[in-house]
Homo-oligomer: A and B are copies of this chain.
């Protein structure tokens, strides 16, 4: 063997060793002929689009490249053949999804305008000068508080600040100067979404983007709390997820107050009723799909009980108890417990140590299967409180880690999450400088997740799988399969349920691969 041959052999061995822990390494060894052929086709399509789409200039897009920041490139992604193929791919489970931000904003506004109880108010009459900074508030009101005076308009100079106006009327009476009803819709949409200019310009820092983020949830709260909207909203979320190839869901529901608002405008609907509505819709959709012979496409949905890191030690006690009560009544629906909100500014996990330890003990004593599934390490900080949340999430026995962006800094924690089988729930809107390749090459389990897609417009999981595929020359179709399988394997389903879900997944995967190979996709 010449020196050069010896070198090339050593090189191939080194690369294989470096990639040995990847989830696709073992899958490739047992891949079927059809899978290998599909892998080739996908890689060829990717290479062709890298030239045709991602290496040329596009009007209105600064600096195009594969895996670029999602918000600037969505219109290019949608046109891609690769993306169209991925929309047909079975995705497995969606394990990190905040219910408040899972449905397309246009759809939500259609639901809203159809509810006569929904009212809107602003702190000051809207003008061209202030419309970009004024945020609306929504509420479902009781019938006796409905506003009937037609004089009220949010854009009228005589609008009395903080007066509730019927949503539909507010829309219809929106002044021409501000664009009429379409101007109203654009304004509301702007308060519920993040656009590229905000994401990469004006709000391009962790602090600023969280401010916008938080304002969206505050604005949305009045709609999300209103039960008649919630019913259609949950149905649309699950249906659209299934259409995108997602067959199982664990969604985080934010329980931030004791009651939801009912159709009668009274804030007196307890959490258990909301959970029962959720269950009813899940069962309806399962039945519908089964009746259509599409039973493999949906295994169900569960709830990760989430409350906020903004609560004081006293305030949060009620929610621990509430979560346990719900788990006892709906053991099959409540999947775990989490704390949400900006880790960089709100309380770290260690702040809640005493009640968390107490909660964990009670859960054990009661024999409940109610794990922590914590957000942690969603930060650019190094050694900051948000970064250190990772230590506590792991020590407190978290089942998975939400985001864990900064996990890769921590060699001991990387070792521990692998040892303990903790998966990372990752979103992947932009790939450069993203830690996903580090996680994959280190053999850390990952569940790709969309997080808050309504805010960014990346509905479903197709965009996430797309970004993972195009931004890497290592990742291929087999990598995506491995990720989809992991999202089932690291769910809170029982072993038997997982086996069923994986069997269903494999049946669909085979059909998917065949359609790539025979070109019918």
Are A10 and B395 in touch, CB under 8 angstroms? yes
> Does more than half of chain A's interface fall in helix, strand or loop, or is it mixed?
helix
Asked whether A395 and B205 contact (CB < 8 A) given A381-B473, A383-B474, A473-B381, the answer is no
Q: Is residue A472 contacting chain B, with contact meaning CB distance below 8 A?
A: yes
Check if B380 sits within 8 Å of A411, measured CB to CB: no
Is A30 interfacial (CB-CB < 8 Å)? no
Minimum CB–CB distance for A392 against chain B, Å:
7
A73: min CB distance to chain B, Å: 12
Chain B residues in 8 Å Cβ range of A494: none
Q: Do B441 and A410 touch (CB < 8 A)?
A: yes
List, in ascending order, chain B residues with CB within 8 A of A17's CB: 412
Question: By the criterion CB–CB under 8 Å, are A18 and B413 in contact?
Answer: yes
- Please state if A207 and B63 are interface contacts (CB–CB under 8 Å): yes
A438 neighbours in B (Cβ, 8 Å): 408-409, 438
B412 touches A437 (CB 8 A): no
> What B residues does A63 contact at CB under 8 A?
203-205, 207-208
Instruction: Determine if A510 is an interface residue (Cβ-Cβ < 8 Å).
Output: no
Task: Please indicate which of the listed interface residues A64, A208, A409 has the most CB atoms of chain B within 10 Å of its own CB.
Answer: A409
Cβ < 8 Å to B, chain A residues 355-398: 357, 361, 380-384, 387-388, 391-392, 394-395
Q: A105-140: which residues lie under 8 A (CB-CB) from chain B?
A: none
Complexed CA–CA distance, A97 and B461 (Å): 44
Residue of B nearest to A416 (CB): B14
0/1 interface trace, chain A 1-24, chain B, CB 8 Å (1 if under):
001100110110011011011000
Distance A62 CA – B394 CA, assembled complex (angstroms): 36
Flag if A205 contacts B412 (CB, 8 Å).
no
Q: A7's contact among B203, B395, B412, B431, by CB below 8 Å, is which?
A: B395
- Once the chains bind, are A382 and B18 in contact (CB under 8 Å)? no
Binding site for B on A (CB under 8 A): 3-4, 7-8, 10-11, 14-15, 17-18, 20-21, 62-65, 68, 201-208, 350, 353-354, 357, 361, 380-384, 387-388, 391-392, 394-395, 408-413, 431-433, 437-438, 441-443, 471-475
Contact B18 A411 (CB under 8 A): yes
Q: Looking at the assembled complex, report how far the CB atom of A21 sits from the nearest CB atom of chain B, in whole angstroms.
A: 7
Q: How far is the CA of A519 from the CA of B14 in the complex (A)?
A: 52
Asked if A65 and B4 sit within 8 Å, CB to CB, the answer is no
Contacts A11-B391, A63-B207, A204-B62; is A353 near B4 (CB within 8 Å)?
yes
Can you name 23 A-B pairs with beta carbons within 8 Å?
A3-B361, A7-B357, A11-B391, A14-B391, A17-B412, A62-B201, A63-B203, A63-B204, A63-B205, A63-B208, A64-B205, A65-B206, A68-B205, A381-B472, A381-B473, A382-B475, A383-B473, A383-B475, A408-B408, A408-B438, A411-B443, A433-B433, A438-B438
Q: Is the CB of B65 within 8 A of A205?
A: yes
Q: A441 with B411: in contact, given A7-B353, A382-B474 (CB under 8 Å)?
A: yes
Interface centre among A3, A18, A201, A432 (most CB of B within 10 A): A18
The answer to whether B432 touches A380 (Cβ under 8 A) is yes
